[in-house]
């Protein structure tokens, strides 16, 4: 099953299964967004769970692969533009944003390295990339997660992504903070800064 088809099917149930469990971690991540007057990309905006938590005064662009998810994004903000697009091939020029939000997307896309490299490309030097997702640690066996991955990745998400492997594809991004968020550190909140030239 393709990623787009899978998320069309789960869109009606997504909020019920994810919203409450992730709200505190999302809020803590988004507290680091620069504002006001900044341009912020939310790559993989999904149904818009981040929207009520966004600081006022910025201009936001939300991207998602499926129209079914975008149709569920709350239309409560005049400063939010929605675009159907692929996080691995963002339809924006280089250095277009002051910050990029990657919440629960790197473990969803087929190629986390490519998605993180795209975030690096579209964020300005000195800008932030905020990541919240589930990752294996380098060298972690995670046997159960790896065993379940072939099924899980066909439905909604990957269970075998190693963040440090993805980061190798975005050498201009430096880790400013890396904190456990949920599930005994399986979910992490990571703040990256794009190095200035």
Query: pLDDT at position 99, please?
Result: 98
Domain count, the chain: 1
Query: pLDDT at position 75, please?
Result: 81
Residue 160's pLDDT band (cuts 50, 70, 90) = confident
Query: pLDDT at position 195, please?
Result: 95
Cα 108 to chain centroid distance, Å, stands at: 9
Cα separations (Å) of 149 from 56, 121, 159, 165, 195?
38, 29, 5, 17, 34
Q: What is the pLDDT of residues 7-21, one digit of tens each?
A: 555 555 556 666 677
Q: Say whether pLDDT at 187 is over 90.
A: no
138 compared with 29, residue with greater pLDDT: 29
Q: What is the pLDDT of residues 5-55, one digit of tens each?
A: 555 555 555 566 666 778 889 999 999 999 899 999 999 998 899 999 999
CATH for 98: 3.40.50.150
Residue 83: domain span: 3-194
Query: pLDDT at position 144, please?
Result: 54
Task: Describe the crossing of helices 3-30 and 143-155 by its angle, rounded to 10 degrees.
Answer: 120
Segment 112-136 shows an average pLDDT of: 96
Query: pLDDT at position 157, please?
Result: 61
Segment 58-80 shows an average pLDDT of: 89
| C-alpha to C-alpha distance for 177 and 172, rounded to whole angstroms | 15
């Amino acid at each position: 099953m393709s990623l787009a088809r899978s998320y069309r099917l789960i869109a009606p149930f997504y909020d019920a299964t994810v919203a409450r469990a992730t709200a505190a971690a999302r809020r803590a991540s988004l507290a680091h967004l620069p504002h006001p007057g900044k341009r912020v990309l939310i790559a993989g905006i999904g149904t818009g769970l981040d929207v009520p938590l966004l600081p006022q005064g910025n201009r936001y662009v939300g991207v998602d692969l499926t129209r079914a998810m975008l149709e569920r994004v709350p239309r409560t903000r005049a400063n939010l533009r929605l675009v159907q697009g692929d996080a691995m091939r963002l339809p924006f020029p280089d250095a277009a944003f002051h910050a990029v939000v990657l919440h629960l997307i790197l473990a969803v896309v087929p190629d986390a390295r490519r998605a993180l490299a795209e975030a690096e490309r579209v964020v300005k030097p000195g800008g932030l990339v905020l990541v919240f997702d589930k990752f294996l640690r380098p060298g972690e066996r995670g046997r159960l997660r790896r065993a379940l991955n072939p099924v899980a990745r066909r439905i909604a998400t990957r269970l075998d992504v190693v963040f440090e492997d993805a980061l190798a594809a975005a050498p201009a991004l430096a880790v400013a903070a890396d904190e456990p968020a949920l599930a005994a550190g399986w979910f992490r909140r990571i703040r990256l800064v794009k190095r200035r030239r």
